Structure 1
């Protein structure tokens, strides 16, 4: 496995080599600090001050003379400071803008007297600018990753909270240059100008040429992909929590095209859609179904939550199963869901609440969302992975809206032989038929991806992991004092891994349990305390938003019936409208809000708004009204959805890279956190039901409020590490 420093050096653009962050040199500086502190030559306060200056714009030349050249050119030995990155970025951005302005003038002159040859030359000139722009984007991204990593390494080595201090003092300053490195929004204008002018050029050419005379514009795709990744598209894709490659590459593909099959991807997305429909189709009628079987209306919490309980276990075995196959788990999922929905429908005629609950448990055992995520991550080429991730989220959102809406349409009551078909049982029958049709389609059309290439990579990874494990053991036995032999090893390979290194970051060993995946096990020793705290806070936020949303959705039928005497159709319309807000809200936030504010600012603001929505939902003294309920529910739901996208984006940054593969991956961890939140929320509704319908609302909202306030406090405590 190639160490990060070597990987970074290999992916540098040679012409700009002197402007990259010298990760290896800065790593040596961190080790020298450790030695100087050990012998008493420096105090910790001096180390913080000196390292801050080194990162900003001072103290580099002295250290270079101290450690000497590392075998490369003078440009390679320079430890790049933030000011140097930013000034180079602005210089290149200005050059690109100037070139585009000149090309724009040429394009205007051609609008009066079209010339095919000159237009072709102009198009090639735009492509050249675009290629240079992609190189610049790649340059900025690599430096941002390198800076994050050296800050993490410094914190791990000394046990400081230097990242917190550095980001707080630099990023929040009015003359901050750190912002330019981590949020290069200005380049979006250059992307837009190139894409717009190329499109305009193509339209003008098409006005007098046949469409067959218009060549493809290969440049527009990568530029558009980057532009959308900085805006609405990636904001949608973040909800899927499908982890990307750690270091970006402008040209290489990380998934073999031979493994990709569009129909198989479509079947995974349909599975996602149907499962979300299956989850929410019973929400408007669950209370009425429970009452018809002789149970209290609030037992709907257990009925709805039973699916989530089973999903906790299903996510683990489906994630493990997807290591060997994608087709078989999808087939098993469909069969189990057919059985579960049939049992749910038959419970009415059997007059058995037990059959009803077992049917919902079976539905939960058929949750194949872990397989759907893994298929996108493993088998979809990088060039379309972002679109597939956004499709995963869109399918989920659409299913969430269609489920209640479909329930509202199933308002009938008739019998065939001894089987009853009414608003309570029809959701089960309809979903059974839907899953049967899906199973037939799956059997005919799904193509199992080849495992040969993947197994080869895994074998190579296992050998590399073993080598890294040996290196770790040797490193742990070495003293802190760095001898000449250690320095030589560092210069040659940059792959040593002593006790202070981020072992999981370098070795990328997959997590072997939920405990190690969640940074609670001994194998998480390579994760800094700040990163561990940040990850746990993000998981708490994810738990909170799922808990608040589940309380709102699951008790909606009971609350609206008690206070407003809403019919099943009215509840279904309300829930469907909530679900339909997901896509437009995320597009607006991703397109505009995320370009004006940092992710951590959006995160904190969204948490506060969720808290406001919960507070507005309480019934205190004055009569409870429909506008109050609808407005508070809309605020809670919308900002919880916004919060989910930002939360998962930040979680992917602070979470260890070892969670990008294996059974216990980041997607599974976030799914488990959200599913447990839903289970607890549904159990809360049922338990609160024993206090009576009049107290149900306030009793269930109180835990949501407490957890929300706790998450806001935790976010404020870790705010400066969320960068």
Structure 2
């Protein structure tokens, strides 16, 4: 893909050329500031003042032109409105069709204006990022904080499309009104489901929603999958994705995700009893549960690398390893060996193929279906989390076949071993390895803004128009008057990183903070889930069945909570606001969990656990959405991608949380609750402080 400067030049609407952000001039200024500061010709204060003034001028130029164009569109709509009633009274079908086309023409021009806003907003984001990188300042934080929150903010005009909604409403209402004589509804306001029947209105509405980061339940749920998007897809890329897509293979990937989550949580209600039966302490359940996560830290890397070459072979290997691991887990009871139990769980962790599941959706599912597939991935995970403990509740029996014992401790292992055997047979029979691309995908050099915007809508591209998309650059041959051969070539190369060290170097402070937030929420969730059987047995004398029902109910909250947040809350507040509020709610849940003074009650435990778990679930969606926006596009592909980094952060959090439970057990079960909550409290407070420091960079 071409670099942003060249893309901006080629995508400009010719008659609007003078109103785009002067990216070339601003980039040259940044380079000049670096040289002047190195020789001491200017001080930092002058640089900040001068660059702020230039950006203000650029934004003012864009905003005034935007307002002018909105006024012209409004004038055209006003003129059409004068003809509207007369034509309807005449019932002249030909004139009605002409009027509809005139309204559609205004709609197409509005789409061009939206694309104009997109290009300028992307350029503004990029030049702010470049300034911070080259000069080592937190200029973005200062600039956004002072400009975006001011009552006369012009910056908000660029990022929040102020005034566009009225134009959209006028086009929508009048087009619907022209078709009213063919329908039975009163107006678009009475039946919103029928309010946008015209394709151009649908395109405008979708574009405005992306521009304002509006979202739906499906989109919000899909964000949990953290399948990073690159730039808008080209038709050639979509053709390749269509050729690689196979529904049954996608279904098998989702089933793998579901079974693995069942495998993870099916032992949680009985892990403490199993440890006791083998002569270990009940709190060793932390090691039993966490050993799977320990192995997953390593398996995520080699499965991610393996998926560069194949999808079927790693899934087959995963199923075989999980079959062996669950068999060993079940046999540990008759062998009376805690070592065999732990080895079995380690094998289960080594079979974690979630990296393959993510990569298959990212590489082999067309863009128009990718959000649905991502939502399916998250739903399968949530369903597995709920079904695991629920299944454990059903295994309340005890019998022997020959020398093999089948009871509530071993049946989860035998059940999962059988499940993986059936899945392996299904996989080998029905999975289709996608064909490799035989030619390189090349982006067309000339892209018409309107066609690109329409292509995004028609193919279901649901990412925000103003997301932090990274410009790409092919190499030294792509340098032109907008690129000047500077650091863009190394910063924005589409070539994926080749090591974890290289990936770490691409992490900006904002990315590091969001990864830390992800670490925090996974740590808090694991503490609640993993120690539940020990805590409830000590304080409330709950049976295995009661613990299983409690954990299953927690898992079942995932989808309803995401419906509420995705449909309502995320459209009422900015993602960074929801992020900070969710972190505070996690903190409140942790504080309410402490046992201090008064007798510990079931309502206190259940209420605090519910607040912590639900808040962490909400936090995960907005956290990963913001992470995908601030993370470099070089981490969207390859072995060391953003999905791997987030998985590693979450897995390490689980490992440390499970280790904390086991170590705290040495202090006695009576102190386990408070001892494990103290690290959660400190980590949560730290994440809130870090979020506040980078809050404005999440704009």
Q: Same fold (TM over 0.5)?
A: yes
Partners of 1:160 and 1:571 in 2: how far apart?
51
Deviation at 1:542, TM superposition (A): 1.1
Give the C-alpha shift of residue 609 in structure 1. Answer: 1.5
Q: Secondary structure at the match of 2:492?
A: helix
Is 1:166 aligned with 2:143?
yes
In structure 2, relative to structure 1, the CA distance for the partners of 1:96 and 1:467 (3 Å cut) is closer
Aligned match of 2:9: 9
CA shift digits 1:36-68 (9 cap, x unpaired): 4456554321221121111112xxxxxxxxxxx
**Alignment CA distance shift 1:105-1:204 (3 Å):** farther
Residue 570 of structure 2 corresponds to: 594
Asked if the contact 1:307/1:361 (under 8 Å) is kept, the reply is: yes
- Structure 1 residue runs without a partner (length 5+): 58-80, 209-215, 459-464, 472-488, 525-530
Of 524, 529, 535, the residue aligned with 2:511 is 535
Distance (Å, rounded) in 2 between the aligned partners of 1:560 and 1:203: 62
1:230 to 214, 220, 237: 214
Alpha carbons 2:2, 2:474 under 8 Å: kept: no
* Cα deviation, residue 20, structure 1: 2.4
TM alignment of 1:352-363, pairs within 5 A: 352-363=337-348
Aligned to 2:531: 555
**Do residues 43 (structure 1) and 79 (structure 2) align?**
no
State the TM-score, normalizing by the size of structure 2: 0.85
C-alpha distance after superposition, 1:407-435 (max 9, x if no partner): 22333333333333322222222222222
May I ask how many residue pairs the two structures share in their alignment? 657
Q: Which residue of the partner structure matches residue 54 of structure 2?
A: 54
**Deviation string, structure 1 residues 615-671 (Cα, Å, up to 9, x no partner):** 110000011111111111111111111221222222223322221111111110110
The match for 1:517 is 503
Distance 1:682 1:548 in 2: 11
Please tell me whether residue 653 in structure 1 is matched to residue 650 in structure 2: no
- Aligned residue among 651, 666, 681 for 1:675: 651
Out of 533-542 and 135-144, give the one that drifted further.
Answer: 135-144
Once the two structures are TM-superposed, the CA of residue 583 in structure 1 deviates from its matched residue by 2.2
Does 2:591 match 1:607? no
Question: Counterparts of 2:534 and 2:397 in 1: how far apart (Å)?
Answer: 21
Choose from 653, 659, 664 the match for 2:640. Answer: 664
* 1:624 is aligned to 2:579: no
Match of 1:175, SS?
coil
Give yes or no for contact 2:473–2:489 (8 Å, CA) kept in 1: no
2: CA distance, partners of 1:704 / 1:555:
13
Pair 1:306 & 2:283 matched: no
CA contact (8 A) 1:505 1:657 kept: no
8 A contact 2:24–2:482 mirrored in 1: no
The answer for the alignment partner of 1:139 in structure 2 is: 116
Q: Is 2:551 the partner of 1:575?
A: yes
Aligned-residue offset at 1:511: 1.7
Q: Which moved more, 1:599-608 or 1:229-238?
A: 229-238
- Distance verdict in 2 for CA 1:717–1:546, change over 3 Å: same
The residue that corresponds to 2:194 in the other structure is none
Q: 1:323 aligns with which of 298, 305, 308?
A: 308
- Is contact 1:55–1:82 with CA below 8 Å preserved after alignment? yes
Q: Verify: 1:175 aligned to 2:152, yes or no.
A: yes
* SS of residue matched to 1:452: coil
**Higher RCO structure, 1 or 2 (CA under 8 Å, sep 6+):** 2
Question: 2:423, 2:15 → 1: CA distance?
Answer: 53
Please identify, of 278-287 and 664-673, the stretch whose mean Cα deviation from structure 2 is larger. Answer: 278-287
Residue 190 of structure 1 deviates from its aligned partner by: 6.9
Shift of 1:350: 2.5
Partners of 1:295 and 1:595 in 2: CA distance:
50
**Is the contact made by 1:156 and 1:502 (CA closer than 8 Å) also made in structure 2?**
no
Residue pair 2:3, 2:473 contacting (<8 A) in 1 also: no
- Alignment-derived partner of residue 699 in structure 1: 675
Contact conserved, 1:253 with 1:383, CA < 8 A, in 2? no
Unaligned runs of 5+ in 2: 186-196, 444-471
Structure 2 partner of 1:156: 133
Change (3 A) 1:680 1:164: same
